[in-house]
Amino acid sequence: MDKYSILLPTYNERQNLPIIVWLLIKYLDQSKINYEIIIIDDGSPDGTQDVAKELIKIYGDDKILLRPREKKLGLGTAYVHGMSHASGNFIIIMDADLSHHPKFIPKFIELQKKHDYDIVSGTRYKGEGGVYGWDFKRKLISRGANFLSQFLLRPNASDLTGSFRLYKKDVLTKLIAACESKGYVFQMEMIVRARALKFTIGEVPITFVDRVYGDSKMGATEIIQFAKNLLYFFATI
Ligand SMILES: Nc1nc2c(ncn2[C@@H]2O[C@H](COP(=O)(O)OP(=O)(O)O[C@H]3O[C@H](CO)[C@@H](O)[C@H](O)[C@@H]3O)[C@@H](O)[C@H]2O)c(=O)[nH]1
């Protein structure tokens, strides 16, 4: 039977974590999906790990695992760390801040099964997909980054910077081995490398809703890093 390991990277998500975990359990149980939830917390000062431990007491350590690290080491490396503890043959990566709704997961799984895709990527930029709650500046950055990367890299997916995705575990293992970046740009690199390695990608339109609690960790450093990597991938891949 297929098993899905859901990776939830967290940094200061004390308020969001109980809600996202509850929603995940509700939708995945309802759809009779076999899963585990892996929380990768980078030593959040707001007590996210204490909340995670309480959730494990409530829902059980067969459903929720906490795989903490001592300090903030970046989003890309958090995925790698989580995956090394995953027992599923499929991996689902999503944000813990309620921007990604678990109701889309059964659609990801259905599409993957139908076409045996290596990757299913949530897309905000196709069909019914969309973004809610971002200000004009943030929308412009995201759209601009996507437009530029589409133009330069010609990837097989319409949302290069999004992170709500399902991977076959062996595919993700190969992609991780091929990827060099550590931060947010990891999402883009995965799709670019996927094309080079000839992995198939299906897409499910998703609505991305900006977080209500807490703050985004994306700043100028991540944006500059993204631009540098974009040019590097353009020149090398
Ligand atoms: N463990 C760990 N988790 C992190 C780190 N940085 C961020 N996270 C977690 O990663 C998720 C996304 O981080 P945010 O900082 O909230 O991202 P965002 O601004 O909402 O950005 C979203 O849009 C980007 C552009 O489309 C996406 O690239 C990004 O993945 C995300 O979906 C959240 O669950 C957050 O706690 C880190 O260094 N370590």
- Quick: pLDDT tens for 130-156: 998 888 888 888 888 888 888 887 878
Closest to 161 measured CA to CA, from 178, 174, 182, 144: 144
d(CA 176, CA 7): 15
Structural domain boundaries in the chain: 4-236
Q: What is the pLDDT of residues 52-63, one digit of tens each?
A: 999 999 999 999
SS3 19: helix
| Topology of the domain comprising 4-236 | Spore Coat Polysaccharide Biosynthesis Protein SpsA; Chain A (3.90.550)
Q: Give me ligand 1 centre to Cα 1, in Å.
A: 31
pLDDT value for 185: 81
Q: Give me ligand 1 centre to Cα 96, in Å.
A: 8
Find the farthest-apart pair of alpha carbons in the chain and give their distance in angstroms, rounded. Answer: 50
Residues with CB under 6 A from ligand 1: 9-11, 13, 40-42, 72, 74-75, 78, 95-97, 99, 142, 161-163, 184, 187, 211, 216-218
Pull the structure tokens for residue 125: 């930029």
pLDDT higher than 80, residue 199: yes
Q: Specify the ligand 1 atom closest to the Cα of 183.
A: 38
Q: What is the pLDDT of residues 70-87, one digit of tens each?
A: 899 888 889 999 999 999
Contact 48, 66 (CB under 8 A): no
Could you tell me how far CA 11 lies from the centroid of its own chain? 14
d(CA 101, CA 129): 12
- Residue whose CA is at the smallest distance from ligand 1 atom 35: 10
pLDDT value for 237: 67
d(CA 117, CA 111): 8
